[in-house]
Structure 1
Amino acid sequence: MGTARPTVERLQLGLALTRLRTAANRSQGEAAEAIGRTGGRLSQVENGKGGLGPDELSKLLDFYGVRGPERETILALGAAARRRAPRRAYVDNLPEPFQRLSELQAAAREINWYECGVIPGLVQSPDYVRAIMALSNSIYWDDSEQETSERIAYRQEHQRRVLEASDPKTISVVFTEDTLDHVIGGPSVMRGQVLHLLQLTERHPTLSIRIIPNTTVDNPALGGGLVVLDFPHATPVSFSAVLYGPYTFYDHREDIEPMQRLFRRVEELSLSREDSRALLVDRIKEGKG
């Protein structure tokens, strides 16, 4: 099996296997030997440029001690990665899709993120995250304080991994000004969120936070959200936010290019970094939060 195009499925499989190998405290060489492969071949798989046969993947998961639902998810992801039939988009119907989306973001070298009406997840303050998760409790999952707490912890750890990566990423975040008027968790949470955005711009030079003013005319992305990810050695991947249902990823040029153009357009409509910061400062001074 030669080097394959790094599709979304293969990227997700590779990132998941890297995470599991690290958690098992095994080297690439040890893992490759366990399934009768070379270290170079396993490296290709972990970089999203290849797959493993069903028996090889099962042996590897045995070697890592992976059992239960996670094992079933990885085996299903492996089957998706081996699929040869052409497809326009990849619909992630497997459990815990946010984990795979966050792993793609952590592996990307450039992240472009636009939202309308909600603060993008990477730059949400801890209290805003808690308020969002509290709203979702009993709607998107059974009423469970433990699950809510675990999701909050995972989101915050994901933010840290991406924003504080040893090799800083280029991150461009754009959102509409009305996002700041939609109160989540109360006025104090919103004020804290604005302060959090200001602090992030000071701490992370490669992070750009820009706002599209309420007075903007003809925003082509009203009512939606999108994420476009660029990788060092793989084709870009785009993701369109949904309120409910499976995550859909795009990695074909005919889909990626329009989404890249859309993001460039919302960047053009947004205030500069400096003027966006001034808008946030003014909201604090005016007590709007």
Structure 2
Amino acid sequence: MERRQLGLMLRRLRKEAAKSQQEAAKAIGKVRSRIVDLEDGRSATPEDDLIKLLDCYGIADEQRETVLALGMEARKRQRRRTYTDLLPGAFQRFADLEASATEISSYESGVIPGLLQSPGYVRAVIEECDGVWWDATTTAELEQRIAFRLERQERSLSLAEPRSFRFVLTEDSLRAVVGSPEVMREQVQHLAAVIDTRDDLVVQLLKQDAIRNPARGGGFTVFGFADRGSPVGFSSTVFSPSTYHSDEADTAVMLRAFREIQSLALDRDRSRRLVDQILKGG
């Protein structure tokens, strides 16, 4: 998992620096395939090569220290069922993983998933947490958090290659008042528009009166990568470090739970009708 996170981070930093894989390979005196393997998480690399790559990309300060620390973890070759990301900027590495996945299966209880949030809902959710789960931020910092969430949506939902998104939400996530009734109306309208315009995205609602729910009170996401790697699971928590599950035994259980929740939820058409009903105040 550490290798995968390191590779995705290096790929993003290279692209942000407008460098090609060939230029990166030249910086460390290796062939291009070495960079391909590194960015795909198939290999680690010595610290000296990492330093050369970071110099090539113009990376300094905290981000540089994070890459070097992640590189050290990747070189340990440890076999673990879970990986807890304790390094700075964990939210950015989650976004890297999300953007690289070819398939996303997500269940959330009581909250709209980040990729489906409207701009007003994004602001309201972040403002609810400001000064509680992290120190109160300045207006500029708050705007940066909101901008990152919206950029994360754009990055994941605008990719040209075929992808599959499957979401199951609990009905109460649409009936709760986050920010204001006006914000929630915008959010429900946004969700309706997403359902109507994206063939690659399926949203199902689990009704409040559903008798069974094997993930009651929790939330999780499983990222699939086709032939580019095994699935990775992520457990949603309100307060704790980001924890990932990459062991196939664990991700198989999470996918089994997701399929069970899908079977208990309304299908796509009935979910869309419930969205309309909520919009009308029903």
- Normalised by the length of structure 1, the TM-score is 0.94
1:227 paired residue among 221, 231, 235: 221
Aligned to 2:124: 131
CA distance in 2 between counterparts of 1:220 and 1:85 reads: 31
Q: Aligned residue for 2:77?
A: 84
State the shift of 1:161 in Å: 1.4
* Contact 2:212/2:264 (<8 A) preserved: no
Match of 1:59 in 2: 52
TM-score normalized with structure 2 length: 0.97
Percent identity for Structure 1 against Structure 2: 44
Superposed CA RMSD in Å reads: 1.1
Q: Aligned equivalents of 2:180 and 2:152: distance in 1?
A: 24
Alpha carbons 2:175, 2:278 under 8 Å: kept: no
SS of equivalent to 1:235: coil
Report the Cα distance in structure 1 between the residues aligned to 2:182 and 2:197, rounded to whole angstroms. 22
Residue correspondence of structure 1 range 16-165 to structure 2 within 5 A: 16-144=9-137, 145-165=139-159
Measured after TM superposition, the shift of residue 86 of structure 1 is 2.1
User: Which of 199, 202, 210 is the matching residue for 1:208?
Assistant: 202
Contact 2:81/2:245 (8 A) holds in 1 = yes
**In structure 2, what is the Cα distance between the partners aligned to 1:74 and 1:85?**
18
* 1:200 aligned partner, one-letter code: V
The residue type paired with residue 222 of structure 1 is R
Whole-angstrom CA distance in 2 between matches of 1:120 and 1:26:
33
1:159-204 per-position Cα deviation (integer Å, ceiling 9, x unaligned): 1111121113100010111112221001111111110000001221
> Could you report, residue by residue, the CA deviation over 1:70-129 in whole angstroms, capped at 9, with x for unpaired residues?
000011111121122321211000111111111111000000010011111110111000
Give structure 1 stretches of 5+ with no counterpart.
Answer: 1-7
Kept in 1: contact 2:104–2:166 (CA 8 A): yes
Name the amino acid aligned to 1:51. Answer: A
Instruction: State whether residues 163 and 204 of structure 1, in contact with CA within 8 Å, keep that contact through their aligned partners in structure 2.
Output: no
Amino acid corresponding to residue 253 of structure 1 in structure 2: E
Instruction: Report the Cα distance in structure 2 between the residues aligned to 1:211 and 1:99, rounded to whole angstroms.
Output: 28
- Moved >4 Å (runs of 4+): none
